[in-house]
Amino acid sequence: MSKSTTKLAFGSICAKEMKAELTTAPHILPIYATSSFAFEDIDEGIEIFKGNKKGHVYGRYGNPTMDTVAQKLANLESHGLDIPSKGIFFSSGMAAIHTLVISLLKAGDTILTQGNLYGGTTELFTKVLDPLGIKTQFIDLTQLVQVETVVKADPSIKLIYFETPSNPTLDCVDMEAITNIAEQHRLWTAADNTFCTPYLQQPFKYGVDYIIHSTTKFLNGHGNSIGGLLVGKDLEMMESLIWRNMKLTGTNGNPFDAWLTHNGLKTLHLRMNRHSANAQAIAEYLEKHPKIAKVNYNGLPSHRHHAIAKKQMSQFGAMLSFELKGGLNAGVEFMRRIKHCTLAPTLGDVDTLILHPASMSHINIPKEMRLKNGISDGLVRLSVGIEEVQDIIADLDQALSTK
């Protein structure tokens, strides 16, 4: 028993924190389940509060488990690039996006982005930020001449926000071209790199300022946590304004979800290799199938952005979509017959997930809006898993065959 507790009453010992006696360094990052951190003495407290010494204070400001996974991901985004970066772990991908945007923009400013963003991000921009005065302009970011014209015409644009490839048609934004325009007009750029992870694509290589991740997807990979990460190369901004806004709006993550993410990250490279190889084989199988009108996969030479994808991505990832001949009914019928793949509205897990947007995620979205973003009645989206590929193909094949 530690010296300070020997003379205490029973109840006081119950209430007092007991520290581990043997503190040999753990091999695996522990879950720091603590809401605050104790100072050695008053002098240490003063130095940490003044900002002269780095140290943890309170769990909402930071925590060793969260900070470790955040820095690991920042190191991966910067890998081989000689660009120092810093990461912050958030409660979700949405929390990371929200904190970034309110840190960079104020009322009267405009975000320039694409129409086919992740649905939650579109709603955050139009339903939460718009009433607060931060406006959004949606255009096709693959039309570079139009991007340049719009940016020149509207000085309120401060941030170009994009996803590449985007859901569900895998359209790609030419990051180098976009950051060139942004630099000329002194705009920030932010890329949502959730679909690729830094193993397949590093937006810093093309001059992007901020990188967003929903760690819920491929980074964790096992579908058992919600989390978000923001990585920035402006260390001053990351350590002051953005960190301050994270702690004041309480968009911080929690140690358990950070720990699960940290665990998942260890096999990221192996999983992404397998996801990509499986998806390529499935895309090639589907492209030859007589009941399929079209396959969207960045790894197919027939994809309209195959060349941009090839320039920016080392492999083409897990995401693909395909259009069934026969529209809505064919889509619903196909989904009824699926046996192995799981019907789930997420992506990035180790098992194959399948979604029919017209009857599932987009059922409440007006048809013309859905069609505008490439989500036709017969479109099916696959997040290809790491199973043995013949089992996934066999499942698709039996669901496509009509007896």
Ligand X SMILES: *Cc1c(COP(=O)(O)O)cnc(C)c1O
Q: Which residues bind ligand X (CB under 6 A)?
A: 92-94, 118, 120-121, 163, 192, 194, 214, 216-217, 226, 228
63 close to 32: Cβ distance less than 8 angstroms: yes
The reply to whether 60 belongs to the active site is yes
Q: Which is nearer to ligand X, 100 or 324 (by Cβ)?
A: 100
> Is the separation of the CB atoms in 72 and 206 below 8 Å?
no
Shortest spacing between CB 149 and ligand X, in angstroms = 27
State the minimum distance, in angstroms, from the CB of residue 215 to ligand X: 7
User: Which residue among 217, 233, 274, 294 is the active-site one?
Assistant: 217
Structural tokens at position 197: 């992870």
CB of 217 to ligand X, least distance (A): 5
Nearest to 119, CA basis, from 329, 381, 318, 332: 381
Partnered with residue 89 across adjacent β-strands are 229
Residue closer to ligand X by CB (options 163, 395) is: 163
Q: How far is the CB of 242 from ligand X (least distance, A)?
A: 17
The whole-angstrom separation of Cα 327 and Cα 331 is 6
Task: Evaluate whether 211 touches 203 at the Cβ level (below 8 Å).
Answer: yes
Q: Spot the catalytic one: 86, 135, 158, 192.
A: 192
Question: 71 or 346, CB closer to ligand X?
Answer: 346
Cis omega (within 30 of 0) on the bond before 165? yes
* Cα distance between residue 188 and residue 185, in whole Å: 9
Per the annotation, the verdict on 67 as an active-site residue is: no
**If you search the block for the tokens 């930071």, which residue do you land on?**
62
Nearest to 192 by CA among 295, 98, 97, 104: 97
The CA-atom distances, in angstroms, between 179 and each of 33, 81, 94, 319, 340 are 40, 17, 23, 25, 42
Q: How far is the CB of 400 from ligand X (least distance, A)?
A: 27
Q: Which is nearer to ligand X, 137 or 346 (CB)?
A: 346
CB-based closest residue to ligand X: 93
217 part of the active site? yes
Name the active-site residue from 32, 86, 118, 257.
118
Instruction: Name which of 194 and 321 has its Cβ closer to ligand X.
Output: 194
Catalytic residues: 60, 118, 192, 217
